[in-house]
Amino acid sequence: MLFAIIHLIHLLAAFVYGGFLFTDILFLQKMQKITLPGEEGAKCREAIMVHVRKVVPYALFVVVGTGIYMFPHVFGKVGPEGLNHLQIILLIKAFLGLWLGLRGFMQKVFKINPWVFKSHYFPFTLVVIIIILSQLMWVL
């Protein structure tokens, strides 16, 4: 029962984090460039981002924390033949999720901005890859 509750919390927090990235890339950035160009668009986006910064980083921390909790339960034991497909894909997912979590933690707690990937395109791409891997790991 506890695992099911943790899993539900994990999914809800992932929807918050991934949903923000989706909204920012497909709507907020376009709004700032096309609909409200210039200073007005920047003010509008910043008005939204003030509230986003209070919720989204913590949703990411919850996703990573609950993922760490669930990892050993889902990973299981390594058989004599080595890692199976589920375990390999889960390791890849875990690496990508930990990278996102570390990046978010550095930004939120230490105020260290990323050096290379400053937009939300790369984290959004990783979230999409993680979602695809989540579905593939049960099929392969």
**First-last CA distance in the chain:** 26
Note down the domain range covering 17: 2-139
Q: Residue type for 113, please?
A: N
133 vs 14: CA distance, rounded Å: 14
Tell me which H or E stretch contains 52: helix 39-75
Number of domains in the chain: 1
Tell me which H or E stretch contains 112: none
SS (H, E, C) 62-97: HHHHHHHHHHHHHHCCCECCECCHHHHHHHHHHHHH
Region of poorest pLDDT, from 16-20, 23-27, 115-119, 125-129: 115-119
Give the tens place of pLDDT for each residue, 75-127: 989 989 999 999 999 999 999 999 999 988 988 888 887 666 667 888 999 99
- pLDDT computed for residue 46 by the predictor: 85
pTM above 0.95, yes or no: no
Give the tens place of pLDDT for each residue, 39-67: 888 888 888 889 998 999 999 999 999 99
Q: How confident is the model at residue 33 (pLDDT cuts 50, 70, 90)?
A: confident
More confident residue, 5 or 111: 5
Count the neighbouring beta carbons within 10 Å of the beta carbon of residue 29. Answer: 16
